[in-house]
Structure 1
Amino acid sequence: MGQLKNGTYQVSTKGFKGDIDLAVTIKDEQIAKIDILKEEETPNIGGKALTALVQTAQGRNDFNVDGISGASYTSKAFNQALTLAKIAAQDEKQEATLTLNDGQYTTTVNSFQEHEGLPGVGKMTMLATFKDNKITDIEVPEYTDTHIMGGMAFDILAKKAIAKQSTDLDVVTGASVSSNAFRQALDNCILQAGGQPEIFAARKIKQRTPIVENLNTDIVVIGAGMAGLCAAIEATDQGAKVLICEAQEINGSSSTRSEGFVMGAGTKEQAKHGIEDTTDAFFEDIYSLYKDEPTIDTKLMRKLTHDSTDLNNFLMENGVTWSGVTHVSEKGVRNLKRAHTTAGLGAELIENLVQSAQEKGVDLRYGLAVDRLITLNGQVQGVVARNKLGDTLIIHASSVIVAAGSYTENPEMVKELNPRMNNIEVITGRGNGSAMRFFKQAGAQIIDVPYIQMMYYFYGASWGDRFPEAIPGSPTLPNYDVLEVDGGGRRVASEDDFCFEYTKRVWDGGYNEGYAIFGQVTADKYPEMTDLGLTTKTAQGKPFGYREDSIKALAIDVGIDPQTLEATVARYNELCEKGVDEDFHKNPANMIKITAPYYLVRLPQICTDGYTGAKINENAQVLDEDNQVIKGLYACGSCADSQMTGINYFGCGTSLLTCGVYGRAAAKDAVSHL
């Protein structure tokens, strides 16, 4: 390698979210200055890390700096950029340094895995084959992400890497973690083969000149989750020509990441298991939980429950197989078994619907993001969309069905629409708020709901591959052996009630978190839960838990009134000694007396999809501020369920029921106007 020439060198690499473009000024063999020209990293993680990395690298002659904890992909991309600048400053041909040893190489890296509906750390294994200094084959035989998310992303990236002989690979939209795992694994294999990953990264993939194309169809559906797929299949069954615009390149909707439960009453699956149920009983049960919500529309609720039987049949006709039917709680109105389950969870449910839609001729286009609606004389008549190549597609249609998810991937919109949601630990919902943009363009009436679908429970975004034995406040893996209190230190529900009973009372009390209290007996029973509480911090930077010799000290740790918490624990211990929960009727088997040393863990806000969205009627037609139908515009799913939900959520499978019923309702009405 030669000496470094003075100058400023513009370089570009792929970070966690997108391109990182730097201008690196080299003077007297050192990095004199680094300017960040462009970056698309997560502001509080990768963006913050980049600033620190720049400060560390400037004034040094070391073109590889220590990475920032928690921002490994961004750190790696930064160091790759410095290496590219160094290569450019040496004025040597990059291709001349490329030497790969023929053979097949394997590596295993961290990737994505879901735990109980929550994001976690998994693994992926890659086999890469090189011959004559080229990548000839890439296989990913083992991975923990789902087939229709991570699997699709791996296929897309492998084909592009081989075709272009480059690792200048954009993140596959909807699969950021799996995409970055793929790039890390391929770099590892290149290193094993004796090559330099930077050489492959420097081979920029050139895009062709974008084009403008006009298309015609009967109905455009925006989004390929449960709502969009049900709408598209229903419309196609009735003879319409349908095009789905799915902004992500994979099946990455909230539906795919869900547990795959679908609520229903009076179904064949219930009858098979000897369960007697009616849609009227279903309505009464769910309405009993939602009736005090100011946004509830009784007509929409009745249709939701009444049409649940037909939706269940529709799903089975389109390839969905139920593995059983269960209840989400053993107590109260949720006790009847109505949640229809799939063995492969939401991924299997959506994969079956995608297959059915494509077999029936639905034009499903991945990576096609809608920019705006086409409107004429107050009527929606299509969309303008853009694909990953930059092409503009002007799609003319009789109707547009918006099923684009909510807005919970848009932090600024969450702050604007839900200011009380200020202690969020994790958001698993999908949707960047594009639906809200379409509604605003069309003059739709928006129904504001102050909360996101959320629970207060013990889970940390920073836990990686660690997971507690059981989770206080969880809907799927609950820990009943603790005492749960609200943000003021009061017990407000039984710990073995369905978690949303507790959520409602904590929220109604005005608190942004709750707490779980337990003693040494429970701590010994759940060592991983206890250790996570004592050794990790929340997304807000607070200790997740505390261990103290007095209840008073625990109260002081979290800023609540010591006397209130002491009285709550004393009363709970009194009930434990009696063996009967006279206050909230908890199962005596889980009434474990709390003795010193004492433990407390925080229960922050764990969120899925936002509820604020468009006002619709029973046909899923979007209404304007005067409650008049906006012709040609429909909405269903998470962007239009504010009239059918509540803080005391009925349970897993209710949202997918809403998606299916109103996706089909939109399709039926849209077809009637062709």
Structure 2
Amino acid sequence: MRLKKMFMVLLSLIITLSLVACGSPTQETTGTTTETTVTSGIYTGSAPGHNGPVSVDVTIDEDGTISDIQIVESSETLAIGSGAYEITKNHVLVKQNLDVEAISGATISRVAYINAIADALGQAGFDVDALKESTGEVDDSVIGDLETEVLVIGGGIAGFSAAIEANSLGANVILIEKLGVIGGTTARSEGIVQAAGTELQKEHGIDDSEEQFYIDFTGLQTDETLDDDLIRLGIENSVETIEWLKDKGVNFDEIESAHPLPPRDIMRGHYAENKGGGMMQTLYEYALDNGVEVYTNTKATEIIMKDGAAVGAKVVRSNGEELTISAQAVVIATGGYSSNKELMAKLHPEIVDYTSYNSNTGDGYLLAEQAGAEMINKSPALVHYANRLPGATGAVNVVGFYTPTVVLVTEDGLRYSSEEAYTFDRSGVVIAKGASQVFALLPNEFVSENQEGVDNGVEKGIIIKSESIEDLAKEYGIDADNLVATIENYNELCDKGKDDDFNKDSKFLKSFDGPEYYAMRLYPSVAETYNGPKITVNGEVISTDGNPIPGLYAAGGVTMAQFTDYQYYSSGTAILYSAVIGREAANHIVENVLNK
């Protein structure tokens, strides 16, 4: 059953972080829902999240309709952006229920939002248990076996780019998504696309070129698995990708650099209006309007092979229905596997005590491997080391991403990088030196500027406060002699006004003056993995015998190994390459498989 837009989650609504005025619920008019009297008004609900409490204001209209949901407090943006909130909010507003199964793939953060909304609705008089009951709206239907020309597996930017492009060239296309909503990792992102030489850059007076982008990009990344032809493909099609997305209705309203320091300091990050959710909603609507068939709650379990060629996939729907989708070509357009603990332990044993907040469980990796693909496996993954200042109201609420005034050490008590450096660059050094833990020591000025968050951190045990550096070291199991020497040396650098060790800008050198000292552990958060099948510049999946597997293509997060390594250029790189390779695959399929 093709999903209708009127029943879909509207991912393009903007997350609103401003506070909504909240008073006592009015008693003017009541509505009824599931035989329960509901009182209109604005109700504040709360629930525990992964990083702290989540609070929302829920507006109930006079007819009992849930008309608005706004965040009052949330610490759930460390790794997932605003996507969990957007997806949950829009489901509730459109469906008027709390059917968690329909929002499949729920993360800890998404469940926290659901529970906070449920708390507010309970105060308004709703029967919350009834609202949480499965509606069966999506899952009760039986669709039976299907046949198409092109099957796309995955509903993120790579999948919809491939589906829309193939459809525009005259192919019949089915796209399947295992979750109850489309968008993938892109929908939870800021919606950034890296590009060089665009009209938006020119409007801002930015002098940039594809060649400079290539120099900056390849100057960072040196892994032997990188494919120069694929790297050039993405960069040389970056402007065209922006224009292609604009043609489909995606607007770009901001442009920023990835980092203050070269080579990421040129403003190349094009921000989609309404972020990644808005981008994906626009592409989804365009796909439906132009005849792409989209099935959610539908997971591919096996690539069907016949005489060495991919001819479809076996799938299972969330209601348990198993079916076959026959196709002349299959595009695996899925994400990575950071939420698959078995694959993480197998492929990245060096990463321990990590967190991941997406639904990427390695489906595409396993499908390609099962189909006989040559797999690229390398370490490390894309990892941030960070932790949150709970309830912070100062300038900083996350320590580790970009907090250049703190001092970062590993368990040996030694600094390992300029704290001003890009987050992935610093993480790469940690993993390269074989360290497993990272700690941030907070200088006096940082503490005073972020006092509320620091105090909350101490109260919750996230931050340790001590009267000596030695005691901090003992509390965390850090080499005490080294840590004391590190801080003494760092204070000397502060007095000197020059970081002789790592060349951090002198404006970020802030001393440790006592009488109290603060430290916190930073935990690895896996932003994405990049291991997966080897592909050609056309997206063809390479088999273990070194030749393309007929009819099998791949794009998206599952193919990142050939255009990035742990020194990831910046957010927006994956979206660029996912869109480019997805479209390249579609063009190759239509011309060489379908012969159209």
Same fold (TM > 0.5): yes
Of 263, 270, 295, 2:225 maps to: 295
Query: In the TM superposition, what is the alpha-carbon distance from 1:616 to its structure 2 partner?
Result: 1.0
1:157-176 deviations in Å (ceiling 9; x for gaps): 42xx5xxxxx8863521446
Task: Say how many residue pairs are matched.
Answer: 547
Of 590, 609, 621, 2:540 maps to: 621
Q: 2:500 matched to 1:582?
A: yes
CA contact (8 A) 1:289 1:650 kept: yes
Q: 2:448 matched to 1:510?
A: no
Cross-structure match for 1:531: 455
What letter corresponds to residue 533 of structure 2 in structure 1? A
SS of equivalent residue, structure 1 residue 332: coil
CA contact (8 A) 1:140 1:154 kept: no
CA contact (8 A) 1:622 1:629 kept: yes
Query: In the TM superposition, what is the alpha-carbon distance from 1:374 to its structure 2 partner?
Result: 1.9
Query: In the TM superposition, what is the alpha-carbon distance from 1:472 to its structure 2 partner?
Result: 6.3
**Partners of 2:398 and 2:99 in 1: how far apart?**
43
Cross-structure match for 1:154: 92
Q: 2:367 matched to 1:438?
A: yes
Q: 2:529 matched to 1:640?
A: no
SS of equivalent residue, structure 2 residue 471: helix
Of 396, 405, 414, 1:470 maps to: 396
Of 311, 315, 320, 2:250 maps to: 320
CA contact (8 A) 2:310 2:550 kept: yes
Q: 2:54 matched to 1:121?
A: yes
**CA 1:483 to 1:188, structure 2 compared with 1: closer, same or farther past 3 Å?**
closer
Cross-structure match for 2:79: none
In our comparison, the structure showing a higher alpha carbon Rg is 1
Cross-structure match for 1:262: 193
Cross-structure match for 2:477: 559
CA contact (8 A) 1:218 1:397 kept: yes
1:223-282 deviations in Å (ceiling 9; x for gaps): 111111111111122221211101111135111111211111122222222222222221
Cross-structure match for 1:656: 575
Of 213, 224, 227, 1:282 maps to: 213
1:17-49 deviations in Å (ceiling 9; x for gaps): xxxxxxxxxxxxxxxxxxxxxxxxxxxxxxxxx
SS of equivalent residue, structure 1 residue 605: strand
CA contact (8 A) 2:46 2:120 kept: no
CA contact (8 A) 1:153 1:175 kept: no
**Partners of 1:564 and 1:382 in 2: how far apart?**
59
Q: Which 10-residue stretch deviates more, 614-623 or 578-587? A: 578-587
**Partners of 1:224 and 1:427 in 2: how far apart?**
19
Cross-structure match for 2:70: 143
What letter corresponds to residue 268 of structure 1 in structure 2? E
1:427-461 deviations in Å (ceiling 9; x for gaps): 1333122112211220111111222211112238x
CA contact (8 A) 1:610 1:638 kept: yes
1:497-518 deviations in Å (ceiling 9; x for gaps): 2222221211111112212113
Q: 2:594 matched to 1:668?
A: no
CA contact (8 A) 1:401 1:636 kept: yes
Q: 2:387 matched to 1:458?
A: yes
1:265-317 deviations in Å (ceiling 9; x for gaps): 122222222222222221121111111x2322222222222222221221121
1:3-29 deviations in Å (ceiling 9; x for gaps): xxxxxxxxxxxxxxxxxxxxxxxxxxx
**Partners of 1:531 and 1:588 in 2: how far apart?**
27
CA contact (8 A) 1:372 1:385 kept: yes
**Matched ranges for 1:570-609 at <5 A:** 570-596=488-514, 597-609=516-528
What letter corresponds to residue 591 of structure 1 in structure 2? L
**CA 1:650 to 1:219, structure 2 compared with 1: closer, same or farther past 3 Å?**
same
Unaligned runs of 5+ in 2: 1-33, 72-81
1:192-250 deviations in Å (ceiling 9; x for gaps): 65x87668889997999874623222211111111111111111222212111011111
**Partners of 1:389 and 1:546 in 2: how far apart?**
48
1:522-546 deviations in Å (ceiling 9; x for gaps): 211111342244233xxxxxx5332
**Partners of 1:120 and 1:413 in 2: how far apart?**
31
Of 328, 331, 344, 2:274 maps to: 344
CA contact (8 A) 1:236 1:362 kept: yes
**Partners of 1:634 and 1:502 in 2: how far apart?**
34
Query: In the TM superposition, what is the alpha-carbon distance from 1:151 to its structure 2 partner?
Result: 3.6
Q: Percent sequence identity over matched residues?
A: 26
CA contact (8 A) 1:548 1:554 kept: yes
**Partners of 1:348 and 1:582 in 2: how far apart?**
46
CA contact (8 A) 1:168 1:202 kept: yes
SS of equivalent residue, structure 1 residue 642: helix
Query: In the TM superposition, what is the alpha-carbon distance from 1:373 to its structure 2 partner?
Result: 1.8
Query: In the TM superposition, what is the alpha-carbon distance from 1:641 to its structure 2 partner?
Result: 0.8
Q: 2:550 matched to 1:631?
A: yes
SS of equivalent residue, structure 2 residue 144: strand
**CA 1:341 to 1:387, structure 2 compared with 1: closer, same or farther past 3 Å?**
same
SS of equivalent residue, structure 2 residue 368: helix
Cross-structure match for 1:447: 376
> Relative contact order: is structure 1 or structure 2 higher (C-alpha 8 Å, sep ≥ 6)?
2
**Partners of 1:387 and 1:198 in 2: how far apart?**
25
Cross-structure match for 1:248: 179
Query: In the TM superposition, what is the alpha-carbon distance from 1:638 to its structure 2 partner?
Result: 0.9
Cross-structure match for 1:37: none
What letter corresponds to residue 540 of structure 2 in structure 1? Q
Query: In the TM superposition, what is the alpha-carbon distance from 1:576 to its structure 2 partner?
Result: 0.9
**CA 1:431 to 1:330, structure 2 compared with 1: closer, same or farther past 3 Å?**
same
1:85-118 deviations in Å (ceiling 9; x for gaps): xxxxxxxxxxxxx97447657643237999xxx9
What letter corresponds to residue 275 of structure 2 in structure 1? L
SS of equivalent residue, structure 1 residue 407: coil
CA contact (8 A) 1:469 1:528 kept: no
**Partners of 2:271 and 2:371 in 1: how far apart?**
37
Query: In the TM superposition, what is the alpha-carbon distance from 1:555 to its structure 2 partner?
Result: 2.1
What letter corresponds to residue 545 of structure 1 in structure 2? I
**CA 1:199 to 1:273, structure 2 compared with 1: closer, same or farther past 3 Å?**
closer
Cross-structure match for 2:44: 108
CA contact (8 A) 2:272 2:278 kept: yes
Cross-structure match for 2:235: 305
**Partners of 1:229 and 1:361 in 2: how far apart?**
12
CA contact (8 A) 1:406 1:639 kept: yes
**Partners of 1:214 and 1:412 in 2: how far apart?**
32
**Partners of 1:249 and 1:199 in 2: how far apart?**
20
Query: In the TM superposition, what is the alpha-carbon distance from 1:635 to its structure 2 partner?
Result: 1.0
**Partners of 1:205 and 1:261 in 2: how far apart?**
35
Query: In the TM superposition, what is the alpha-carbon distance from 1:639 to its structure 2 partner?
Result: 0.9
**Matched ranges for 1:12-23 at <5 A:** none
What letter corresponds to residue 87 of structure 2 in structure 1? M
CA contact (8 A) 2:444 2:511 kept: no
Cross-structure match for 2:405: 481
Cross-structure match for 1:229: 160
**CA 1:513 to 1:624, structure 2 compared with 1: closer, same or farther past 3 Å?**
same
What letter corresponds to residue 486 of structure 2 in structure 1? T
1:311-341 deviations in Å (ceiling 9; x for gaps): 1221121112112222111212111111111
**Partners of 2:86 and 2:463 in 1: how far apart?**
37
Q: Which 10-residue stretch deviates more, 545-554 or 608-617? A: 545-554
CA contact (8 A) 2:350 2:436 kept: yes
What letter corresponds to residue 125 of structure 1 in structure 2? V
SS of equivalent residue, structure 1 residue 408: coil
CA contact (8 A) 1:228 1:663 kept: yes
RMSD: 3.1
